[in-house]
């Protein structure tokens, strides 16, 4: 008896309970009763019925029966789940082996690189069914469970067989009917694909025979009607088993007409629909315009014209992407929950790190709670437009609900009394509902940055004069909401407002897959548009940032170019926010302002954003402590504003260092470090010295003309310093003996050393370069500035704009004002001393014979302030 109880405990209780806390008395009772019933395995326990449960319970005292029965029933449920999981694993292993065999069959026929197209891949269950009995007839409608031509349920539900524990298909609705010829073609192609996967012999299954049969049925549909063609196929292929018994292969059945009377009957229209497979009237010969239309029920589909988009992509050389997008738009996009997102050859692979946690946007869910009327108004308008649907009360109780936030748009008034529903955007936090974590998506977006804008404008300036260009900005209206979601995926996309549950039919904001799916579609259209303009020989270049487009167009074709953009996108079904439409010499893109002036093109940080950054700097410096949230916000704004000004970006190192320290030590706030305060004060001073033109970055032409570039050279020796500038065809030079250098400057740069080491020479070379640049800054150059120096240490400091050494920092901070203005134009280069002989001789006081048009000037040292340390 003890051995039997030990076996039951080891084989049943320990695996099923798996560390669950349970009363020892109840456990002993279950051991005794299971031994009494001779149940020694989980498989036996999973088959225990109500009668056995009643029998075991009745043996116990009345006061123990209720508790014992509860634990026993729970244990039996665990056993059933264990059995189902074990069988499912076995089935999955078998399906994986079958899939590998099927792929090998396909490659033997079409080559090692052959892959089955996703849009005609039948379900695994039907592939197995065809593999077991290839000559058994399977109606076409069985293959339409995931068809793009219908969004209704198939009428079949998979439930567990209580006797075997296996999943079985149970029909809970009417048999699906075929409404269009397109549906029949899709189902037939999936049946053909199943045959090609399970049978590698061309003698038995020949693709040419399939094409021959397909042409025969389609020709019959054109000659008579789709109904006659579909009924003929149903009647003809129903006899496949009989044809096989007569010695005919599948290829012979499809390529030869083995039942001519059926074809003649179809031509005459005498075939009867005894099995009720066709769902339309006899006299209907055309497919529905809307593939989502069903008799008595109409669902809104995507307004994007999938077939036209697919055809254009194929013509432009993107056949693979076109086929996927055509299928996804028509059927609804996969989100990666239940259906994997089809891979794209045009977008990069994602890095192997978790997605960015953007929880800062959703910290205050009360934004939706404080405006329930506005939220309900927005959701109800989405229902009326067909982009959302109401969930019935029975389903709403078990639905996954995602919390929402109301995010004000850019045009939202600050006065609450003037705010309306259209001033807000609803964004769901799918991180909170754990939906984003379930997404399987191994690709990512590659959105344009400011550097891409500068590259595009630089290319334009290399081809055209700035005054020959105009800029246009186009915003796609309701971008994500233009694309539908796969029916299987929508069950996860629920929000609740005012006690009502709403479900998305279109791509929702806040979901991890939505930006990729939309940008994939819009990016394909953008690529085709640029190819089209190249064929027209029009000067039109542009960038796409999700739903925002930025174009530079030749002024001569400005209006026509904008019309072409709107017409091309519009014919594919996209709409536009016309109040944001812009054509002129100014435009705003990715947060920056782009302006075309007579002398060039400038990219500017908007004045209001610069003022906000300056105010944040003042507030941070005024407080003795700094908190992580405000410092992170300030660091992001400064990084964005100083993107192009690389000589100032090193002064953000203390900001990010403080943030890193706070995260490492789990600090919400800390006393402002001295280094951070110094750097922020320095940046505040730089911003305060800006003129009304604010933070502007001139765009340089991609074609660099060395003759028009500004050349700067300098050198320092143990006896003196010198430098020269070539600007606008004029040469200017200066020289200064070290004995005439201001004493405070000499002491700050060289210290008290009587002999100069390589370090002091590096600082002197740095000082000479900065003095020459200060001379150039007085003339405000607009062309490229090439700075040459024969000291590698000084060049490295200038290229980085930063040095940890105190003396170099002192020089750079003094020079920050003019370095900041020259930063967009300047580039530093190391040259040998021999090449730098002109500046070298000037610094040593040698008698250099200079041309008569060279102008001498006094050494520029006014910018160097006295060191107070």
The more confidently predicted of residues 546 and 74 is 546
Whether 652 has a pLDDT exceeding 70, the answer reads yes
How far apart (Å, rounded) are the C-alpha atoms in residues 697 and 188?
Answer: 61
pLDDT for 108-137, tens place per residue? 777 777 777 878 888 877 888 888 888 888
What's the pLDDT score for residue 271?
85
713-769: per-residue pLDDT in tens? 999 988 899 999 998 888 999 999 988 888 888 888 887 766 778 888 999 999 999
Supply the DSSP symbol for 839: H
DSSP annotation string for 732-772? EEEEEEGGGS-HHHHHHHHTT-SS--HHHHHHHHHHHHHHH
Q: Quick one: average pLDDT of 535-555?
A: 89
Structure confidence at residue 297 (pLDDT): 39
| H helix runs in 336-445, sequence order | 366-369, 372-384, 393-396
pLDDT band at 156 (very low <50, low <70, confident <90, very high): low
Say yes or no to pLDDT of 153 above 50: no
Question: Which helix or strand (DSSP H or E) is residue 143 part of?
Answer: none
Q: Which pair of tokens denotes residue 304?
A: 């994007």
Confidence class of residue 96 from pLDDT cuts 50, 70 and 90? low
| pLDDT (tens digit per residue) in 304-328 | 999 999 999 999 999 999 999 999 9
Q: What is the pLDDT of residue 300?
A: 47
pLDDT-derived band at 367 (thresholds 50, 70, 90) equals: low
- The residue behind tokens 């040998």 is 832
Judged by average pLDDT, the poorest of 466-475, 506-515, 644-653 is 644-653
Tell me what pLDDT residue 791 has: 92
pLDDT at 284: 42
Distances (CA, A) of 141 to 119, 164, 218, 281, 293: 16, 28, 17, 18, 17
Residues written for the chain: 869
Q: Is the pLDDT reported for residue 869 higher than 80?
A: no
Q: Is 675 helix (H, G, I), strand (E, B) or coil?
A: helix
For the structural domain made of 710-856, what CATH number should be given? 3.30.420.10
What are the two backbone dihedrals, phi and then psi, of residue 112, each rounded to the nearest 5 degrees?
-70, -20
Q: Per-residue confidence at 140, pLDDT binned at 50, 70, 90?
A: confident
Q: Which residues contact 100 (CB under 8 A, 6 or more apart)?
A: none
Sign of the torsion angle spanned by Cα atoms 406, 411, 417, 422:
negative
- pLDDT at residue 288 tops 50: no
Whether 632 has a pLDDT exceeding 70, the answer reads yes
Which residue ranges make up each domain of the chain?
A: 2-86, 116-298, 359-601, 606-699, 710-856
Amino acid 321: pLDDT: 92
594 CB-near residues (< 8 Å, 6+ apart): 453, 457, 471, 550, 586, 587, 588, 601, 602, 603, 604
Lowest mean pLDDT among 482-491, 499-508, 643-652, 856-865: 643-652
- What percent of the chain is predicted at pLDDT more than 90? 20
* Of 818, 712, 803, 821, nearest in space to 763 by CA: 803
Q: What span, in angstroms and rounded, lies between the C-alpha atoms of 149 and 145?
A: 10
- 3-state secondary structure (DSSP) of residue 425: strand
Give the pLDDT mean for 336-342: 87
Residues 636-640 have a mean pLDDT of 88
Same fold, 359-601 and 710-856: no
Mean pLDDT of 680-692: 77
Q: Which residues pair with 726 in a beta bridge?
A: 711, 731
Tokens 């020259």 sit on residue? 822
pLDDT value at residue 790? 92
Write out the CATH class of domain 359-601.
alpha beta
Ramachandran class of 320: left when φ > 0, alpha when ψ lies in -120 to 50, beta otherwise = alpha
Average pLDDT of span 69-95: 76
If pLDDT is split at 50, 70 and 90, which confidence band does 287 have? very low
pLDDT band at 63 (very low <50, low <70, confident <90, very high): confident
| 676 touches 655 (CB < 8 A) | yes
3-state DSSP assignment of residue 7? helix
pLDDT-derived band at 620, boundaries 50, 70, 90 = very high
pLDDT digit string (tens) for 244-261? Answer: 888 888 888 888 888 888
Amino acid 435: pLDDT = 79
CA proximity to 595, closest of 542, 648, 552 = 552
* Residue 169 confidence (pLDDT): 52
Residue 371 CA, chain-centre distance (Å), reads 30
Tell me the C-alpha distance between 325 and 116, whole Å: 16
Residues whose CB falls within 8 Å of the CB of residue 116, separated by 6 or more in sequence, listed in order: 103, 106, 193, 197
Largest Cα–Cα separation, the chain: 121
pLDDT at 352 over 80: no
* pLDDT of 525: 94
Least confident of 45-59, 88-102, 198-212, 791-805: 88-102
Separation between Cα atoms, residue 452 and residue 461, nearest integer Å? 14
Enter the tokens of residue 259: 């039942």
Question: CB-hemisphere CA count at 13 Å for 401?
Answer: 14
Q: In the chain, pLDDT over 70 holds for what percent of residues?
A: 88
> 468-481: per-residue pLDDT in tens?
899 999 999 988 99
Average pLDDT over residues 652-677: 89
How many other CB atoms are there within 10 angstroms of residue 293's CB atom?
A: 16
Q: What are phi and psi of 735, to 5 degrees?
A: -150, 150
Separation of first and last alpha carbons in the chain? 92
- Spell out the alpha helix ranges (H) of 623-730: 628-641, 653-664, 674-688
């Amino acid at each position: 008896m003890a051995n039997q109880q030990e076996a039951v405990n080891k084989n049943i209780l320990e695996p099923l309970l798996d560390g669950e806390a349970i009363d020892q008395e109840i456990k002993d009772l279950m051991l005794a009763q299971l031994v009494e019933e001779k149940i020694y395995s989980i498989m036996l326990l999973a088959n225990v019925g109500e009668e056995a449960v009643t029998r075991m319970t009745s043996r116990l005292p009345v006061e123990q029966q209720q508790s014992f029965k509860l634990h026993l029933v729970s244990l039996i449920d665990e056993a059933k789940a264990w059995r189902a999981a074990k069988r499912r694993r076995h089935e999955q292993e078998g399906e994986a082996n079958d899939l590998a065999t099927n792929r090998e069959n396909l490659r033997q026929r079409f080559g090692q690189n052959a892959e089955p197209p996703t849009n005609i891949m039948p379900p695994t269950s039907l592939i197995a069914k065809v593999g077991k009995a290839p000559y058994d007839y399977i109606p076409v409608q069985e293959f339409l469970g995931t068809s793009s031509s219908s969004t209704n349920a198939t009428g079949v539900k998979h439930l567990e067989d209580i006797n075997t524990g296996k999943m079985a298909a149970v029909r809970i609705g009417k048999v699906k009917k075929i409404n269009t010829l397109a549906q029949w073609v899709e189902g037939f192609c999936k049946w053909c694909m199943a045959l090609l996967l399970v049978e590698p012999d061309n003698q038995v299954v020949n693709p040419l025979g399939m094409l021959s049969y397909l042409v025969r049925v389609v020709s019959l549909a054109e000659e008579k009607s789709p109904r006659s063609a579909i009924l003929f196929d149903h009647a003809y292929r129903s006899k496949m088993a009989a044809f096989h018994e007569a010695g005919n292969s599948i290829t012979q059945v499809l390529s030869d007409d083995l039942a001519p009377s059926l074809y003649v009957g179809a031509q005459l229209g005498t075939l009867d629909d005894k099995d009720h497979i066709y769902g339309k009237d006899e006299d209907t010969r055309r497919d529905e315009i809307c593939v989502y239309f069903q008799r008595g029920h109409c669902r809104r589909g995507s307004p994007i014209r999938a077939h036209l988009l697919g055809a254009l992509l194929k013509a432009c050389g993107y056949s693979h992407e076109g086929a996927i997008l055509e299928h996804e738009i028509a059927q609804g996009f996969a989100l990666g929950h239940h259906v994997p997102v089809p891979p794209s050859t045009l977008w990069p692979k994602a890095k192997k790190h978790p997605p960015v946690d953007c929880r800062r946007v959703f910290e205050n869910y009360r934004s939706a709670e404080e405006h329930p009327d506005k939220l309900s108004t927005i959701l109800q308008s989405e229902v009326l437009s067909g982009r959302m649907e109401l969930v019935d009360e029975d389903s709403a109780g078990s639905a996954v609900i995602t919390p929402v936030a109301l995010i004000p748009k850019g045009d939202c008034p600050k006065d609450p009394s003037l705010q309306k529903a259209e001033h807000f955007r609803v964004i769901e936090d799918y991180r909170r509902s754990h939906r984003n974590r379930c997404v399987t998506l191994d690709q990512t977006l590659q959105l344009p940055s400011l550097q891409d804008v500068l590259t595009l404008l630089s290319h334009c300036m290399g081809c055209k004069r700035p005054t020959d260009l105009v800029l246009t900005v186009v915003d796609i209206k309701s971008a994500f909401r233009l694309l539908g979601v796969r029916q299987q995926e929508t069950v996860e996309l629920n929000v609740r407002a005012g006690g009502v549950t709403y479900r998305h039919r279109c791509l929702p904001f806040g979901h991890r897959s939505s930006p990729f799916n939309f940008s994939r579609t819009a990016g394909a259209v953008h690529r085709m548009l640029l190819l089209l303009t190249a064929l027209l020989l029009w000067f039109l270049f542009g960038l796409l940032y999700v739903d925002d487009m930025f174009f530079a167009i030749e002024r001569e074709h400005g209006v026509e170019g904008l019309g072409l953009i709107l017409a091309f996108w519009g014919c594919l079904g996209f709409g536009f926010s016309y109040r944001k439409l812009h054509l002129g010499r100014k435009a705003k893109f990715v947060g920056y302002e782009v302006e075309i002036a007579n002398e060039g093109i400038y990219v500017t940080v908007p004045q209001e954003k610069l003022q906000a950054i300056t105010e944040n700097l003042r507030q941070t410096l005024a407080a003795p402590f700094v908190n992580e949230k405000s410092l992170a916000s300030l660091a992001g704004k400064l990084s964005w504003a100083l993107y192009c000004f690389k000589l100032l970006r090193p002064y953000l190192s203390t900001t990010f260092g403080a943030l890193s320290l706070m995260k490492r030590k789990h600090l919400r706030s800390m006393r402002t470090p001295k280094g951070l305060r110094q750097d922020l004060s320095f940046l505040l001073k730089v911003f305060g010295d800006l003129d009304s033109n604010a933070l502007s970055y001139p765009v340089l032409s991609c074609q660099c003309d060395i003759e028009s570039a500004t050349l700067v050279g300098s050198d320092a020796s143990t006896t003196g310093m010198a430098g020269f500038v070539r600007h606008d065809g004029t040469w200017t030079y200066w020289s200064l003996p070290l004995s005439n250098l201001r004493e405070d400057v000499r002491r700050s740069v060289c210290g008290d050393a009587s002999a100069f080491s390589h370090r002091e020479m590096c600082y002197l070379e740095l000082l000479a370069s900065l003095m020459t640049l200060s001379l150039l800054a007085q003339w405000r150059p607009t062309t490229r500035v090439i700075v040459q120096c024969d000291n590698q240490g000084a060049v490295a400091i200038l290229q980085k704009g930063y040095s940890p050494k105190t003396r170099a920092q002192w020089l750079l901070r003094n020079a920050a004002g003019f370095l900041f203005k020259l930063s967009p134009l300047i580039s530093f280069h190391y040259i040998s001393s021999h090449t730098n002989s002109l500046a070298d001789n000037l610094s040593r006081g040698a008698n250099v014979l200079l041309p008569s048009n060279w102008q001498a000037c006094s050494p520029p040292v006014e910018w160097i302030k006295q060191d107070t340390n």
